[in-house]
């Protein structure tokens, strides 16, 4: 396949078990692959990236926003595509991307597309997880990464374009993995609330978790995704409860030595 004028940018920690799939999905057509790897990683991720033709840069962790901007700054191609280690570009999406970056008069500087997650043996196409539009394709120099950790986003001016094909996402290796991520995200939420001096009341604990379940499972048709959709809706509700109750816990007065 002809190489496209595009730099695929990936930031990565210890991802030897997953990054190969991401790289394999772009290696045949990406003009350049940039991997910014955490400097302490020693699990073989670098060797897999090099095997797929990536340029690897080891750097200390600067947060998602800083790391993604660092990867983008190293790109030399006129178009950039951001990819996470747990994602893969489907053949249909690759074809759409190819048409955009090969068009000198492309209508937009930034493009978004749906992301479809694979969960417990099933592609999830309803509920809170789909279509999950993500902005990942842009002209070099058009935008920068901004946002609150760990949720980086592209700052855009004006309207973005939309592609129709899915980016494939493999976010959870196991349900235990999902629960562990839930705890980590709750920690991040507690820190954000402390920084913003944001409080949580009992109504948040009472209303928000059941609402998240109803929204995902009933109103967004999560029940059409079988038991996996039910699991996602309940664990999302649990995550909602956990992050708000953790804020309440953090506000409790500290006991002195007891």
Q: Chain centroid to CA 123: how far?
A: 17
Structure confidence at residue 27 (pLDDT): 97
User: Which residue shows structure tokens 């489907």?
Assistant: 90
Structure confidence at residue 62 (pLDDT): 92
Q: 170-194 in b/e burial notation, b at 16+ Cβ within 10 A?
A: bbbeeeeebeeebeeebeebbeebe
Give the integer Cα–Cα distance in Å for 234 and 231.
5
Structure confidence at residue 191 (pLDDT): 85
Nearest to 149 by CA among 246, 62, 19, 75: 62
Structure confidence at residue 111 (pLDDT): 97
Q: Are 122 and 222 in contact (CB under 8 A)?
A: no
Structure confidence at residue 50 (pLDDT): 97
Per-residue tokens: 244: 């708000």
Query: Could you give the domains of the chain?
Result: 4-169 (3.90.550.10), 175-250 (no CATH)
Give the integer Cα–Cα distance in Å for 97 and 112.
10
Strand duo 4-12 + 79-82: pairing:
parallel
User: What are the phi and psi torsion angles at 194 (to 5°)?
Assistant: -65, -40
Structure confidence at residue 184 (pLDDT): 84
Q: Are 34 and 81 in contact (CB under 8 A)?
A: no
pLDDT tens track for 205-258: 999 999 999 999 999 999 999 999 999 999 999 999 999 999 999 888 776 554
Nearest to 11 by CA among 79, 60, 76: 60
Each residue's pLDDT, cut to its tens digit, for the chain (258 residues) gives: 689 999 999 999 999 999 999 999 999 999 999 999 999 999 999 999 999 999 999 999 999 999 999 999 999 999 999 999 999 999 999 999 999 999 988 889 999 999 999 999 999 999 999 999 999 999 999 999 998 777 788 988 878 999 999 999 999 878 998 888 888 888 888 888 888 888 889 999 999 999 999 999 999 999 999 999 999 999 999 999 999 999 999 888 776 554
């Amino acid at each position: 396949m002809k190489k496209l004028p595009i730099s695929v940018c990936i930031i990565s920690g210890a991802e030897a078990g997953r990054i190969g799939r991401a790289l394999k999905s772009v290696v045949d057509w990406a003009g350049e692959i940039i991997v910014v790897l955490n400097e302490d990683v020693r699990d073989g991720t670098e060797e897999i990236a090099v095997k797929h033709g990536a340029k690897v840069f080891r750097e200390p962790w600067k947060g998602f926003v800083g790391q993604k901007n660092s990867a983008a700054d190293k790109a030399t191609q006129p178009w950039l595509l951001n990819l996470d280690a747990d994602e893969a570009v489907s053949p249909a999406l690759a074809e759409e991307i190819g048409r955009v970056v090969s068009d000198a008069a492309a209508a937009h500087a930034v493009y978004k597309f749906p992301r479809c997650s694979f969960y417990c043996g099933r592609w999830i196409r309803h509920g809170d997880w789909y279509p999950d539009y993500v902005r990942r394709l842009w002209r070099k120099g058009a935008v920068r990464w901004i946002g609150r950790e760990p949720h980086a986003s592209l700052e855009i001016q004006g309207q973005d374009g939309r592609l129709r094909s899915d980016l494939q996402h493999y976010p959870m290796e196991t349900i235990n993995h999902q629960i562990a991520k839930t705890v980590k995200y709750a920690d991040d939420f507690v820190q954000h609330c402390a920084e913003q001096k944001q409080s949580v009341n009992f109504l948040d604990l009472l209303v928000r978790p059941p609402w998240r379940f109803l929204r995902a499972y009933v109103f967004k048709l999560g029940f059409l995704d079988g038991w996996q959709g039910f699991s996602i809706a309940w664990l999302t509700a649990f995550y909602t409860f956990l992050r708000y109750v953790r804020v309440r816990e953090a506000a409790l007065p500290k006991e002195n030595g007891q």
